[in-house]
Amino acid sequence: MFKRRTPEAPPDPPQVVKPGGKGRPTPKRSEAEKRRRQPITAPSTRKEAYRKVRERQAADRARARQGMAKGDEKHLLKRDRGPVRRLARDYVDARRTFGSYLMYVMFALVLLSMLPIPAAKLLVLFVPPLLLVVVFGEGLMLSRGIKRLAAERYPDEDPKGVGMYAAMRAMQIRRLRIPNPRVRVGEKDKV
């Protein structure tokens, strides 16, 4: 009879999720600070701090290099991104080109130039310009072919620069191409 009664608390109103809201109530400051607190593991010296930064950067570069080699769009340079560039890479990689052997031949010519044979020196004089003309002509043919194929397959994409991209890739040594070739030489039907 003389007991003190506590008034009953009204029930909590239902949570209304606003459009564009985060869908949960804002945490109290004390809770947010508790979550944010972590043990301080600051390096004791400047050298140690630099070493940690260099290690982290080296790991990031290694991940990016692996992603580029695999052809992962996220890690590729801007010049290598997009379906048209992927098509150009496959188009070039499926063919055996003179340009990919150009560096080997030039190295052999340098070695020949060191020999005291007059015929070798004459060969060194006339072969490089001929090779460059052949590689230039091959680049033009590759450029025209890839532009035509890109216009057929990807009419909405911008083919700007894809011919030069294909010609430059054709001049690289196959094993040193980045991103790595996805098709083997002779697999033109997979392009």
Read off the pTM.
Answer: 0.69
- Verify that 69 and 100 share a domain, yes or no: no
How does pLDDT run across 141-187, given as a tens digit for each residue? 999 999 999 999 999 998 899 999 999 999 999 999 989 999 998 88
Rounded to whole angstroms, the maximal C-alpha distance in the chain is: 127
User: Is 43 within a domain?
Assistant: no
**Domains in the chain: how many in total?**
2
- Verify that 66 and 105 share a domain, yes or no: no
pLDDT band (50, 70, 90) for residue 32? confident
**What is the rounded CA–CA span in Å between residue 81 and residue 133?**
30
pLDDT at 15 over 80: no
User: Is 150 within a domain?
Assistant: yes
Contact 122, 184 (CB under 8 A): no
User: Is 120 within a domain?
Assistant: yes
Q: Nearest to residue 153, comparing CAs of 84, 101, 93, 71?
A: 84
Domain that holds residue 67: 49-81
How does pLDDT run across 60-101, given as a tens digit for each residue? 999 999 998 888 888 888 889 999 999 999 999 999 999 999
Asked which of 62, 81, 100 is the last residue of a domain, the reply is 81
User: Helix H segments across 13-117?
Assistant: 29-36, 46-70, 83-93, 102-113
User: Is 86 within a domain?
Assistant: yes
Half-sphere exposure of 104 (CA within 13 A, CB side): 10
pLDDT at 117 over 70: yes
Cis peptide before 179 (omega within 30 of 0): yes
User: Is 143 within a domain?
Assistant: yes
